[in-house]
């Protein structure tokens, strides 16, 4: 929206404003932002594979794995350090994505999307049948601590948000560097012509496998952070509608920038919150109408508004 401003300065100002917001905004707003960024991280992962022409309708698998890892480690080992739990949640997602990636990287288009959804629904099924994990009710996650510091109430909300913000900034910078690397540029190349990629001496499957694993790691981070700061997990995290929301946000934000997933997630979360509040029985219709309008009028997502403005100046 500010075409004359150097994007680096724009990002820095936004990040600082968000960090300051943690101390100024009401608790519910900070919580909402935290949730938005956590989901933005998942969508950032989807962006990575979307650029290669692939879309996962089962990203909730890794979102849920990240969340349940946090919950289970807290419950059975009693560990509560947020940094450690988030790291473990990410690792768990990667540990599952690497073997599954060998299968899924052989597929493209709708087959890729459906297979990824199938895997997430298997996890959902297992969790629903696991009564010792609370079945469909799930269970509460231990309150997080930060290197020994155990905040409560508003302080916890603030600390949680700052952690998520920090993780988002690091992930954003990392993914941005990745997208500009040879491997990142290869996304478009893969979408255009896999034959040529193979004849350049590279396994298209291996590149997709790597991208898939990266996207799973980001979904794991997002799931771990959500679980920690919502304080509760249930199998719904792995359900296909959760994946659908991530896809929704990906389209909402657009493929244009690493900021788009976070902007899209915040907008989505806000619209959903208000839609739910004002029309509790038809809020899904509001979201549906929003998606329809978006596809019709802003097929490249809301971030394309920013780019359009840039292009004009």
Partner 1 sequence: MALLEAKGLHKRFGSVVAANGFDVAVNDHEVVGIIGANGAGKTTFVNMVTGYVTPDAGRILYAGRDITDLSPRKVTRIGISRSFQIPQVFLTLSALDNLLIAIGIARGELLRPWRPLRRPELLAEAQARLDRYRIGEYSQQKAVLLPQGVRKLLDIAMAVVNQPRLLLLDEPTSGVSVEEKFGIMDTVMAALKEQQVTVLFVEHDMEIIQRYGQRVLAFYDGGIIADGPPERVLADEQVQKLVTGEVLHKAHPSHGGGAHA
Q: If you write DSSP's letter for every residue of 62-95 in order, what string do you get?
A: HHHHHHHHHHHHHHHH---BHHHHHHHHHHHHHH
Binding flag, residue 8, partner 1 (CB under 8 A): no
CA–CA gap between residue 29 and residue 107 (Å, rounded)? 41
Nearer to partner 1, 130 or 203 (CB): 203
By CB under 8 A, residue 185 contacts partner 1: yes
Q: How far is the CB of 259 from partner 1 (least distance, A)?
A: 18
Q: Which 158-177 residues touch partner 1, going by CB under 8 A?
A: 177
Taking the least distance from each CB to partner 1, the nearer of 153 and 201 is 201
Residue 35, burial from CB neighbour count under 10 angstroms (0-12, 13-18, 19+): buried
| Dihedral sign (CA 87, 88, 92, 93) | negative
Query: Which residue in the set 11, 79, 107, 178 belongs to the binding site for partner 1 (CB under 8 A)?
Result: 178
Query: DSSP label at 59?
Result: T
Out of 155, 196, 308, 310, the only residue in the binding site for partner 1 (CB under 8 A) is 196
Which of 14, 188, 241, 282: binder of partner 1 (CB under 8 A)? 188
Place of tokens 């299968």: 103
Query: Do the Cβ atoms of 35 and 229 come closer than 8 Å?
Result: yes
Span near partner 1 by CB under 8 A; candidates 180-188, 224-232, 246-254, 271-279: 180-188
Q: Is 192 in the site for partner 1 (CB under 8 A)?
A: yes
Residue 132 neighbours by CB distance under 10 Å: 6
Q: Kindly report the number of other CB atoms within 10 A of residue 185's CB atom.
A: 12
Whole-number minimum distance, CB 208 to partner 1, in Å? 13
- Closest contact distance (angstroms) between CB of 37 and partner 1 is 23
116, 56 Cβ separation under 8 angstroms: yes
**Closest Cα to residue 215, out of 34, 57, 84, 8?**
57
Instruction: State yes or no: residue 198 binds partner 1 (CB under 8 A).
Output: yes
Q: What is the Cα–Cα distance from 119 to 96, expressed in whole angstroms?
A: 11
Q: Does 182 bind partner 1 (CB under 8 A)?
A: yes
When asked if residue 130 is in the footprint of partner 1 (CB under 8 A), the reply is no
Q: How far is the CB of 194 from partner 1 (least distance, A)?
A: 10
| Among 24, 147, 195, 296, contact with partner 1 (rule: CB under 8 A) | 195
- The C-alpha R_g of the chain, in whole angstroms, comes to 19
Q: Which of 27, 135, 140, 183 binds partner 1 (CB under 8 A)?
A: 183
* Residue 255 binds partner 1, judged by CB under 8 A: no
Give me the residues that bind partner 1 (CB under 8 A), please. Answer: 177-178, 180-186, 188-189, 191-193, 195-196, 198-203, 207
């Amino acid at each position: 929206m500010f075409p004359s401003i150097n994007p680096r300065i724009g990002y820095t100002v936004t990040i600082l404003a968000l960090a300051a917001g943690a101390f100024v905004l009401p608790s519910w707003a900070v919580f909402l932002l935290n949730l938005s960024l956590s989901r933005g991280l998942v969508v950032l992962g989807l962006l990575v594979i979307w650029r290669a022409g692939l879309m996962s309708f089962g990203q909730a698998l890794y979102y849920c794995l990240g969340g349940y890892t946090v919950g289970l480690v807290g419950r059975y080992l009693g560990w509560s350090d947020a940094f450690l739990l988030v790291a473990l949640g990410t690792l768990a997602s990667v540990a599952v994505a690497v073997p599954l990636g060998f299968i899924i990287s052989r597929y493209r288009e709708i087959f890729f999307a459906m297979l990824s959804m199938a895997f997430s629904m298997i996890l959902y099924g297992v969790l629903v049948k696991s009564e010792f994990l609370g079945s469909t009710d799930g269970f509460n996650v231990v309150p997080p601590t930060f290197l020994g510091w155990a905040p409560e109430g508003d302080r916890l909300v603030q600390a949680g948000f700052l952690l998520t913000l920090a993780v988002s900034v690091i992930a954003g910078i990392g993914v941005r560097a990745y997208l500009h690397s040879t491997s990142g540029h290869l996304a478009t190349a893969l979408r255009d012509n896999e034959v040529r990629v193979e004849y350049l001496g590279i396994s298209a499957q291996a590149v997709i496998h790597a991208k898939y694993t990266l996207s799973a790691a980001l979904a794991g981070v997002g799931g771990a952070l959500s679980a920690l700061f919502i304080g509760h997990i249930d199998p719904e995290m792995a359900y296909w509608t959760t994946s659908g929301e991530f896809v929704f946000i990906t389209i909402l934000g657009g493929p244009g920038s690493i900021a788009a997933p976070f902007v899209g997630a915040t907008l989505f979360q806000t619209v959903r919150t208000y839609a739910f509040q004002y029309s509790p029985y038809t809020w899904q219709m509001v979201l549906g109408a929003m998606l329809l309008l978006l596809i019709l009028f802003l097929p490249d997502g809301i971030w394309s508004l920013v780019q359009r403005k840039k292009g004009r100046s």
